[in-house]
Structure formats: C-alpha cells, structure tokens
Chain A
Amino acid sequence: MADSYLKAVNSGVTKTLAKKLGLPRPAVLRRWAPGQPLTTGPVLVVGGRPGVEDDADRVAAALLGWDLDVRQVPAGSTPDPALRWGAIVAVMTEAQKPTDLSETVLAIGANLRNLAGNGRVVTISRATVAGDAPALSATRNGVDGFLRSLAKELRGGATGNGIQLTEAAQVGDPSVLAALHFFLSSKSAFVDGQLLKVGDGPSWDATDFDWTRPLAGRVAVVTGAARGIGADVARTLSRDGAHVVVVDVPAAGDSLARVANEVGGTALQLDVTAPDAGARILEHARARHGGLHVLVHNAGILRDKLLANMKPEKWDAVIAVNLDAQLRINEYLLGANGFSENPHIVSLASTSGIAGNRGQTNYGFSKAGVIGHTRATAPLIAAVGGTANAVAPGFIETDMTASIPAIARQVARRASSLQQGGQPIDVAEAIAFLASPGSTGVNGQVLRVCGQNLVGQ
C-alpha cells in the first residue's frame, strides 16, 4: 500500500516544505536485503567499567564476532561530529541502584546526535524478579520507562528496544545474542520501544550458526498464508531455509497455490476451525516433510461491530477462527506429541488485544485471548524444549487496513513513533525471529511490531 505522504516528505520540494513547516517526517525504513551489513555503521557499546572484565566487554566481544566495528569510549568523551553510529548498545545488567545507570544513559545521550538514520539503540538489562530489593527493582524497572521514552525521541527511522534478561540468563547466551542480532538488524525495522524478556531456555549451539539461513532443515506451517501477512511469513520462513506448508481455507486455494509455488512449499487447503485441523496439519507435515518444527497461527478474520449491534454469528466467527482454532490445534499437537525437536509456536495477536479498539470487542477478545493462551502454553511446550510466543502487529499496510477511510488511515499511520504504517514483511521478520533456534530463550512473550504505536504498552 502506497503511503504517499511518506514519499512526499522524503523527496523533492515537498521534503523542504515539510522540513520548514515542521511537519511530521516519517523516514523510509531500512529493510533487510541479501548481503546487507548488520548495521549502517560502527557500534558503540556503553555501560562498561574501565579495567574490569564485565558484561559490556562480553557484549562487545560478541559483536566483534559478527565482524562489526565495535567501540567503547571513556565516560564524558565527545564523539567526532562526523561519526555516525550504526547502533548504540547500552549494557545495564550489573546496575544495583538507580544512580549506577546515570553515567550509561548520559553516554547514550551524548552520542544520540551521532546516531545514523535507521540507527539502533538497544539496552540490555535484567528484568525485575520477585525478591528483588526495592532499589534493585527500581533500577531494573526504571530501564523500562527510560527505553520507551528514549524510543519516542529517536528520529530518522532509528529505533530503541530493550532486552531484559530473566532467570539465570547471561549476556553471552546464544538466545540473548540472537535477540540482540534481531534488534540491531533491519529485520526489526518496525519494532520500536519494546522490551523483550530473554531467559535461559534450552541450550542452543550458536557455533558456526548460519545467520542467513536460521531455519535450514526446519518444517514450518503457516495458517492464513494465501495473502497479506501470512503470505509474507511464508516467503520469509522459506528465505530463512524452512520447508513451508501453507494453509488456508479451500476457497482461497488459488492464491494459496501461488504462494506455495513461489516458496517451493506445499499447499494444504484446510479450514483451521475444522475439528480435525490439528490432525490434518500434523499428518501433512509429517508425511510430506518429515516433521513439524514451526507453527505460525496467522489465520484471522475481522467482523467489526459495536457490541450493542453485535450479531451472534459475528462474535462466534471471530472467536472460532482467531482463538478457538489455535487452542484446539495446539492442544492436539501437544497432546499427540506432534512436534519435532525444539518446536516454536508463534501466534498472531494484535495491539487491539492489548489496548482495545472501538468496534472490535470480538477481535479484541480473541487477540487478548491469544496472548493469554500463549503465556499458558509456554511452560507446556518448554517441557518438550520449545517456545510459544505471540506477535502483536500495530497498523500494517495490508488490504485490510487499506479499507479504512482515508483520514482515519492517515491518523492511524502517524500515531506511532515511526509515524508510518508497517509492512507485512516487518511482522514476518519478527515471526521468523521467534521461529528460529536463536529464540529458544524467548518464551511466553508478546512482541509488538507497531512502530511504537501510541496505544497500550
């Protein structure tokens, strides 16, 4: 979907005009392309203490392993005005009291003017846990408010996101590094102002890991894959090396076949609300591809109505497709021990399920329900070495949002820190990350892909 405003403020005389008038100027976001460097420039690591082997050093070492130009600078130093940081990584894991972080956040601030367009700020801290001393809890929770506020100050397509270590997770853990890799890369273009909890899930060997084909040899099933976000998810998982089974209702079979043929996968015409949907998905994945590693619950429908006018069929259809089908399929697959080793379930939630949306009581219920079952499924699937997570898209440019009236659409687009709608590929990239072996430490989480939409958390 063309965002003509975004084009206008980024080119020609309208660009100058928009600048002079002080109009919102959404940036053209950098998105992933083959062979692209991970960041647009050198990476600054802040938060380290001189002369001590600390977490900041461990992070810097990992970044060096990715062939990045990594720098650590003394506190209070002023950067070269010509320098453009591709990313600033702030390591805050060892802070015990609020004042411990002053130096680190001010170091970020001193370098913000040198952050490149589409640059990245990533904080790495520890999540609060029960039993934290008040000062420790304050410190850790403070990062949350700091990061979200900072993300709102960034411009030019730059984003700010945080990794929160839980349990015994350490900064050098493969899962932590995988999350860092995702947030630094252009694959997280529309993820902004988010804090992702990363635990010490099942061990995962990152040695010689091929970051260009993280899903090599894995079998992925994507529901609702005939068009929109689902089709892009199928393309992205295929790009990352997965054998993809695309699923959609029989009536969408022609576009489903096109997607299957494009990604070299197989098409399964199936209504996910069918009582035996789980069994048929498993049978197909096993018989044709030898297993089932990744399940993306993307199929979803809208039947918007104010609750006062809600017809039973409109309520029921949304709950059946968006929520009940996911529950039933998960229950079957977990019950039948249907998943192969280290499985990943990724379900589509929505910001409507977090913040609510007028006219979407049914949709909001279903999407909040998805978040609920994702949290509850997490420990169940962890028992077999897997993860269950959700992705909550905000305003994404699809056929669905193209049908929103023009003015409302423009308002919705600008109501985020990135001042634009996301693309289906942005949602697909987040799903691909959560479906990859690197995400084993991320479980029961909801990752928003919303450009830091102003609604909800």
Chain B
Amino acid sequence: MATSKNQTTPPAAEAVIVGGNRIPFARAGGKYSSASNQEMFTAALEGLVARYGLQGERIGEVVGGAVLKHARDFNLVRESVLGSSLSSQTPAYDLQQACATGLEAVVTISNKIKLGQVESGIAGGTDTVSDAPIAVSEGLRRALLAAGHAKTLGARLKAFAAIRPADIAPLTPSTDEPRTGMSMGEHQAVTTATWGITREAQDEIALASHQHLAAAWDSGFFDDLVTPFRGLTRDQNLRGDSTMEKLAGLKPVFGKNLEGTEPTMTAGNSTPLTDGASAVLLASREWAAERNLPVLAKVVDAETAAVDYVHGHEGLLMAPAHAVARLLTRQELTLQDFDFYEIHEAFASTVLTTLAAWEDADYCRTELGLDAPLGSIDRERLNVNGSSVAAGHPFAATGGRIVATAAKLVAERAAETGRPARALISVCAAGGLGVAAIIESAADGSVSTGSTSATGSTSATGSVSTGSTSATSTTGTEA
C-alpha cells in the first residue's frame, strides 16, 4: 500500500462503519445470568454476520475484550470468532481499556484500515457482572501454588497447613479504584459536588435517557442494530414510563459521607450493573462496496486522555474533557460543529460535569490549556436515542453500542438533509481514562473531502455542493 511521493497523493484511506449489532442489555442477575462473556460476544458476532451476510468471510481482524474476565478467557475474542460463522482464518485479539474498551477497539481497527494493514475489522466488547470471575484469596492462592510445587507429601501438607480460615473466603471482583479504594460512584460524587451539579439536573438527564431510548425502540431504530438473545428483545433496564417524581423519590447512594454537601447521586441517575455484548463492522470503502454493504459513517479521528485523579485534583471521570479538547484542536473544529453528541452516561452527573467543564473559562484555561472555553452545546443534540443510564452499561460493550448508534444517526441525518452530519463520542473509563472520537456520515459521495482536514465550522456547508453532485454522478461503486 506504500505510495511513492512522485505520484499524485491519493486521499488517505478511509475507515468506514458498515453497521453494528448488539444483544439487548440485561440487568445483572437477569436474563443473561447464566451466559458467559464468550456466549454473549459470539451472539453479537452471529447477529452481525447474519445482518451483513459475512458467513465464511475472512475478516481482517476482530478486536474486543471484557473488563471482568475469567483467566480461562485469555483468548476470549479469538474463541468467540471460532464459535461464530466467520471464517476460522479470521485473526483476533483481546484488548482492554476498562469502560473504553469497545471504543478503543473501534479506534484501533479504524487505524489499521486507514494504514491499509487490514481491509475489514470487527470491533466490540462484552461484559457480564452476573457471570463474573471469583478469585481465591491471596493466602489460599499462595498455599495452592506452594502445594503444587511441593515434591513430597510432607512439603505438600506443610503448604496446606499455612491456609488460615480467613483465606477460604472468595474474592469477588470489585470496581473500586485500586489506588484510592474508592468506588467509581464515590469518586464521581466528589466531582459532582465540586461542580455543584444539582440532583434535579441529574434526574433530568436520566429521564431523558429513558425517554429517548424508549422512543428509539418504539420507532424501530434498533431493528437493524440489535439481535435478541435468550428471550430478551429490549434493554431490560429501560423504563420508558419513568417520571421526574419517581426519580426524585429515590434515595442517594453515593456521596453520603461527603462533608458539607447534600448527596445527589441515586440508583436512578447512575448506571446499573449490566450484562451484554456489542460488535461494529468497519471496513475500507472498497471492501464494503465489493460486498454490496452499506456505509453509514467514517471514523474521522480519535484521542485518548488520562487524568491524575490519584495525586492531582482532577476528577476520576474527567479525562474525556481533555481528550475532546485535544481532538477538536487537532481537527480545527469547535465543540459546536456537531450534529450529535454521544457522551457516555457512566452517571448522569458525568455528562453534566463534562459539559460544565467545557463551559468554564477558568477550567478550560488552566486544565485544558485553551484561550477560551469550548462553550456549551445544543442539548437537543445530546444522547438523542438514550444512553447508558437507560440502556445499561456492560462495560466493554458500551463503545460498540454508542458507535453503531451514532453511525446510524449521522447516516440518517445526512440522508434527510443531503449534507454531511457529524457526531462527537466521548467515553470515560476507570483509571482516570477517557476516549473521544469523531465520526462523520459517509454515504457514497456525500463527503468528498476524503481526509480529515475539514475547516472549522464552515466545513459542513462547504462540502455540500461537491457532495451532492458527486452523489448524482456516481452510482455507488467508485474505485
């Protein structure tokens, strides 16, 4: 794929999003309580294969992962591929970046496609808290290892003798931050209080999430994004009939011991523990065209950030604020240049603290190094088809859910208006991590610039004329 300098430089290869598939997300201990990560991810792959007729296809690479993972699942994604209808010659590997796993997988694959290293890829993730691994205590583990290494019966008995009653208790997985011992909710409670986010504002986000997701289901938006699994046909956590009154009646669960503050974070405006899996099909435009596959969007660019929440003062889930700022700078875009914002609702307040940070001149100057605040967004464009508070958040599966939803949204918008549409995606993650990405509608001919050098806020209207003329002049399969 190397291009020599003395030729006309072709536009950089594009990584397009063909479509996605997920299984409905189930509440922990619900419909998928006996389903393993591998079963769920295989189901997500199988639905994708069926939707796009990929039976026997050798995909360039399948990349995904799980946050809560059994030791036996060291090759989770490859094993899922082997259990699917894809060609067994499809390579795969596991990737893990906490809640950003799915989005990072999309970024990784799109980069390989842009480099020409692969022509196609499936990115995704799966997680189950119902079927989470349970480990033995450190004391029992050391004793068992010592017994295994022992050469004599005596040495073996001696090793077992070292086990204390307390060592028998199993270790259940914890989502607490290892370096602070605080749960994610407690961390976010601090950030929420710092930014003065009200209970009412959080409940409004939560209510909108349920209402938007319910409306999307009712309108059939997920008909080609979701395949039922184990008798579940919709997201189990969804409560389309939720009201502000009902949400207001819930007791706070996080930040109850924060001095001088009223706790505001409830089970209603926080994301529930959930089981599920998702997958997104990415490809070069040519690969998709050769197989008569649709093209919803292209992955424009992405940025990952991390914040020092251990020694510094930054909130655990504030990294996306940084990632987005750097991404916008590189792309010469403003925060207002987007038709859709998909901000992962780890908690309703995560969305609100992120938005507040972008509006805060002081924060943008001191923390993000910007001359001016990024400003506010049109809230009508935020999580328009619901997000994690309503859908649930099976950690590694969330990225795939968001990317597929956003890709379909920009494709539909572009088809309606005849103009390119663009979405900003941001996902926060444990460990002070955050990933942001930009995707743009990419139906044949609708975006002709190819590379990512859109010029600020005028870019959308700037490429309209070229877009529509080339759409009429070509019939789908250029190249």
Q: A residues touching B (Cβ–Cβ < 8 Å)?
A: 250-254, 256-258, 260-261, 264-270, 274, 287-290
Contact = CB atoms under 8 A, between A and B. Distances in A.
Contact of A250 (B43, B228, B230, B292): B228
B233 A251 contact: yes
Contacts of A260: 49-51, 53, 55
Contact of B49 (A261, A270, A289): A261
B229 interface: yes
Nearest to A267: B50
Contacts of B394: none
B456 interface: no
B292 A254 contact: no
Contact of B294 (A256, A257, A287): A287
Interface in B186-240: 220, 222-224, 226-230, 233
B345 interface: no
A58 to B, nearest CB: 44
Given A264-B53, A288-B53, 11 more contacts: A250-B226, A250-B233, A253-B227, A257-B46, A261-B49, A261-B85, A264-B55, A264-B56, A266-B50, A266-B51, A288-B292
B228 A251 contact: yes
B52 interface: yes
Contacts of B46: 257-258, 261
Given A254-B47, A257-B47, A261-B85, A269 B233 contact: no
A451 B181 CA distance: 72
A273 to B, nearest CB: 12
9 contacts: A253-B226, A254-B230, A260-B53, A261-B55, A264-B53, A265-B53, A267-B51, A270-B223, A274-B220
Main secondary structure of the interface of A (DSSP, over half): helix
A399 to B, nearest CB: 16
B35 interface: no
B279 to A, nearest CB: 12
A287 B294 CA distance: 8
B184 to A, nearest CB: 32
Given A250-B228, A274-B220, A288-B292, A261 B233 contact: no
A362 B279 CA distance: 42
B163 interface: no
Contacts of B43: 254
B57 to A, nearest CB: 10
Contacts of B233: 250-251, 253
A327 to B, nearest CB: 21
B471 interface: no
Contact of B227 (A254, A266, A270, A290): A254
A267 B50 CA distance: 5
Contacts of B55: 260-261, 264
Contact of B292 (A258, A270, A290): A290
B355 interface: no
Closest 4 CB pairs of A and B: A257-B50, A260-B50, A267-B50, A261-B85
B404 to A, nearest CB: 14
A225 B229 CA distance: 17
B293 interface: yes
Interface in B50-66: 50-53, 55-56
A287 B293 CA distance: 8
Nearest to B217: A250
Most A C-beta atoms less than 10 A away, residue of B46, B228, B230, B233: B228
Contacts of B292: 287-290
Most B C-beta atoms less than 10 A away, residue of A254, A258, A264: A254
B334 to A, nearest CB: 35
Contacts of A253: 47, 226-228, 233
A251 B222 CA distance: 11
Contacts of A254: 43, 47, 227-230
Interface of B: 43, 46-47, 49-53, 55-56, 85, 220, 222-224, 226-230, 233, 292-294
A266 B52 contact: yes
A149 to B, nearest CB: 48
A264 B233 CA distance: 24
B53 A269 contact: no
A266 B47 CA distance: 10
A268 B46 CA distance: 14
A272 to B, nearest CB: 13
A252 B227 CA distance: 8
A266 B228 contact: no
A110 B106 CA distance: 75
B291 to A, nearest CB: 9
A139 to B, nearest CB: 53
Contacts of B227: 253-254, 256-257, 267, 269
A7 B56 CA distance: 38
A433 B307 CA distance: 66
A33 to B, nearest CB: 23
Contacts of A261: 46, 49-50, 55, 85
A287 B223 CA distance: 18
A388 to B, nearest CB: 27
A286 to B, nearest CB: 9
Contact of B223 (A250, A257, A266, A289): A250
A256 B228 CA distance: 10
Contacts of B52: 266
B58 to A, nearest CB: 15
Nearest to B23: A254
A269 B49 contact: no
Contacts of A257: 46-47, 49-51, 227
A289 B233 CA distance: 28
Given A250-B228, A261-B46, A288-B292, A269 B223 contact: yes
A289 B52 CA distance: 11
Nearest to A259: B50
Nearest to A244: B53
B474 to A, nearest CB: 15
Contacts of A250: 220, 222-223, 226, 228, 233
Contacts of B51: 257, 260, 266-267
Contacts of A251: 228, 233
Most B C-beta atoms less than 10 A away, residue of A258, A266, A270, A287: A266
A274 B218 CA distance: 12
B56 A269 contact: no
A213 to B, nearest CB: 18
A179 to B, nearest CB: 33
Contacts of B47: 253-254, 257, 267
A26 B458 CA distance: 77
A270 B46 CA distance: 18
Contacts of A258: 46, 50
Contacts of A287: 292, 294
A264 B56 CA distance: 8
A260 B46 CA distance: 10
B226 A266 contact: no
Most A C-beta atoms less than 10 A away, residue of B222, B226, B292: B292
Given A261-B49, A261-B50, A266-B50, A288 B293 contact: yes
B220 A252 contact: no
Nearest to A263: B55
A266 B227 CA distance: 13
Nearest to B222: A250
Contacts of A274: 220
Most B C-beta atoms less than 10 A away, residue of A251, A258, A261, A287: A261
Contact of B228 (A252, A265, A270): A252
